Structure 1
Amino acid sequence: MDKGGLGLLATLYQYISVSRDYVAQVWKPHLRFRCSSEDSITLLLQYLQQSFILSYIHAIRVVIMSEFTTFTEGEFYEGHFDSRAYVKSFYSCSSGHADEKNYLTFVLRCLSRVFSAGKRSLSIESLSLTVLFFLNNFDTDVCFKGEHKGKRLIDVGSGPSIHSVLSACEHYDEIVLSDFANNNRREIEKWLKNQEGSLDWKPILQYVCELEGKSLSDLEATLKQRVKKVLKCDVRLENPFYPHTLEPADCVITSLCLEAACKDIQTYCRALHGLTELLRPGGLLVMIGVLGESFYKVDEQLFSCLRLSRDGIEEALRGLGLSIQEFNILPAEDRENNSVSDFEAIFHLVARKPSE
């Protein structure tokens, strides 16, 4: 980003701060004539301040995205994505990045519920978070079924991470991890082989173990034993693993991949079709993603993202014949103070391919 763009961003952030003061100083005297209590005044002020702030967030998004002359597809990741900085920023603890307010906790708990329901003991913190999830669009008809099992699981677009398959690994005999970027695959291989300098996944492993009543050493050993391949994938291809042809899987997981890899909704729908082709009839598709995100940042490097909506995702899945079993949403908190992304919500969904 050039100096002009940075200057404009600085000005917009300054306006956010000024707008808060403006609302408080200018509007509060007028509201006193129209509201019967201080509580009513406070609520109205907060609403007005939020409206100002969201307007400036939209302007900031426009400025940032204007810096991308092209969508940052897979080829850009090869030379610009810092795998270790990514894990350090977003996976160093179970809650994830501080600016994203329990994003990772939401994801880990959703995955645990899908694959290992009923094995955990809930703490007071866990109970309150579970209640929050229910308030944010859990499909209560299918909650807590858990323990999906099978022979083969494929994780499409793993990045340098293993978190997506921790709860699932003991329920599948063979696991394939994958990513487009060579460096991401190397980091996974280093961890699987216990090589010196490999990434530290103990905080995330420990959290999942506490959820599910498992031993950290047993969970780590199980995952390393069950992962059979780490392959290059490109979700833009009809066969994401070309030139390899994989046997149909009982479960396909993808997390934060498609919206980062697909420049438009047509490419996104084709990628979804490619994922469903990896599934056996009756197989399970588990997706983690973000709604309304146009960018995210890793160690000051910006990456573009396809803005998605729940309606658009549901339409695409149903168009492919999948039945959506649950679609869970956690809205973003404190968006004006998120320095690493602009997502509106995190989603987790489970869909099933029709049986033949």
Structure 2
Amino acid sequence: MDCSAYKLYNVLGFDSRQHLEHYYSKNAKMVFGEDTLIFPVKKLTETLSLGHIKGDILIDLSKGSPIHHLYSTCAFFKHLIVLKIKDRCILELKRWVDTRTGAFDWCHAAQLHVDLEGNSEQLEDKEGKVRSAMQHVVKCDLEKENITEPIDLPPADCIISSCLLEAISKDQDDYVRNLRKFSKLLKPGGYIIIVGLIDATYYIVGEHKFYNFRYDEDFARKVLVGEGFTIDFCEVKKRSNVSDLTDYKGIVFIVAHKATQV
């Protein structure tokens, strides 16, 4: 598909609040809950509960301003560093971190984590831990080889990327280049967890239609292996909703670790 027919997220950006309302809210009309909220949160909770993915630093590189997937990470990482390519997404996220009036309500995501983890932790405690751990929200530039330049971040133990690679990549080569840049932020032996839209060509935010690079599970696997990763887990969930907001066929959840340098 010709990407010039649609807008590009990394070029023009979108209304971050509308994006959250369309795909991550607790609104009864939001039909993507099973795919965008429950599935990735459940898989991430199961993955982290195994205990081998942990450390000092987790970097989140995700499209828009979602934080629903970060609640469980606080028990396994000391610091959460969130990288964003658009100022609007940073402002949206900081509004929640600073508990400002009008911040997006993520209580439904916190409750989901509490239920899945089977503990009696209060929602306020859950959200407080995420806010405390999320010490740095940093703007990055995907055009640079070091996307956080001029800041040099310490190597991360784990990177989580949700629906971003396909939103910023025009084609296969672009996807590989972007994954390679992400990989440079990882320490040897570190893990990358990718949540992606399978066979999607577009998604809508507000009145605007955005391009999505179309790929399948086999492509995602081959690219990771080609970049020196070993895949530990991969599962694809078939789409479970009806909506014209986006045309993805499934959601992929992949866990892979980077080769250890000798």
TM-score (norm 2): 0.92
Higher fraction of helix: 1
Q: SS of 1:263's equivalent?
A: coil
| 2:255 aligned partner, one-letter code | V
Q: Which position in structure 2 is the counterpart of 1:210? A: 115
Q: CA deviation at 1:226?
A: 0.8
1:247 counterpart letter in structure 2: P
1:110-167 CA-partner distances (Å, limit 9, x unpaired): 111112x3xxxxxxxxxxxxxxxxxxxxxxxxxxx24621000000135212112111
Aligned length: 259
Partners of 2:35 and 2:239 within 8 A in 1: no
Q: CA offsets per residue over residues 73-127 of structure 1, 9 Å max, x none?
A: 41211xxx11111112211139993157544211111111112x3xxxxxxxxxx
What's the offset of the Cα at 1:299? 2.1
How far apart, in 1, do the equivalents of 2:160 and 2:142 lie? Answer: 13
**Residue 107 of structure 1: which of 19, 26, 40 is its match?**
40
1:218 offset after TM fit, Å? 1.4
Counterpart secondary structure, 1:340: coil
Q: In structure 2, what is the equivalent of residue 83 of structure 1?
A: 16
| Counterpart residue identity of residue 167, structure 1 | S
Match of residue 134 from structure 1 = none
Residue 294 of structure 1: how far off its partner (Å)? 0.2
Once the two structures are aligned, what percentage of the paired residues are identical?
29
Code of the residue aligned with 1:323 in structure 2: it is T
User: How far apart, in 2, do the equivalents of 1:297 and 1:312 lie?
Assistant: 24
Measure, in 1, the Cα distance between the counterparts of 2:3 and 2:146. Answer: 32
Q: Which has the higher contact order (CA 8 A, sep 6+)?
A: 2
Equivalence for 1:338: 243
Distance change in 2, residues 1:216/1:100 (3 Å): closer
1:94 touches 1:105 (CA, 8 Å); kept in 2? Answer: no
Residues in 2 aligned to 1:88 and 1:67: alpha-carbon distance in whole angstroms: 25
SS, match of residue 160 in structure 1: coil
For 1:197, which of 96, 102, 106 is the aligned residue?
102
Please name the residue that 1:249 is paired with: 156
Which residue identity lines up with residue 192 of structure 2 in the other structure?
L
Deviations 1:292-344 (A, max 9, x none): 1000111232111000111111111111110000111001135xx42111001
Work out the CA distance in 2 between the residues paired with 1:283 and 1:158: 21
Amino acid at match of 2:203: Y
Q: Distance in 1 between matches of 2:28 and 2:254?
A: 20
- The residue that corresponds to 1:239 in the other structure is 146
- State the AA in 2 paired with 1:156: L
Structure 2 Cα separation of the partners of residues 95 and 318 of structure 1: 40
Distance 1:147 1:218 in 2: 24
Equivalent position of 1:130 in the other structure: none
Provide closer, same or farther for how the CA distance between residues 96 and 247 of structure 1 changes in structure 2, counting only shifts above 3 A.
farther
CA RMSD, Structure 1 to Structure 2 (Å): 2.1
Distance in 1 (CA, whole Å) between partners of 2:230 and 2:153 is 23
Q: Using a 3 Å threshold, how does the CA distance of structure 1 residues 195 and 265 change in structure 2: closer, same or farther? A: same
1:74 corresponds to: 10
Residues in 2 aligned to 1:228 and 1:346: alpha-carbon distance in whole angstroms: 29
1:321 aligns with 2:254: no
8 Å contact from structure 2 (residues 24, 36) kept in 1: no
CA shift, 1:237, in A, is: 3.1
- CA separation of 1:96 and 1:347: change in aligned 2, threshold 3 A: farther
> Unpaired segments of 5 or more residues in structure 2?
none
Q: Which amino acid aligns with 1:104?
A: L
User: 189-198 or 67-76: which moved more?
Assistant: 67-76
User: Does residue 155 of the first structure (1) align with residue 60 of the second (2)?
Assistant: yes
Amino acid at match of 1:310: E
Deviations 1:197-253 (A, max 9, x none): 111111111111111123211111111111111011234432221222111000011
Given the superposition, is the C-alpha separation of residues 66 and 318 from structure 1 closer, same or farther in structure 2, using an over 3 Å criterion?
closer
- The corresponding residue for 1:267 is 174
Query: Do the aligned residues in 1 keep the contact of 2:35 with 2:240 (CA within 8 Å)?
Result: no
- 205 and 100 in structure 1: CA distance in 2 versus 1, 3 angstrom threshold: closer
Query: In the alignment, is the contact (CA less than 8 A) between 1:94 and 1:207 conserved in 2?
Result: no
Letter in 1 for 2:83: S
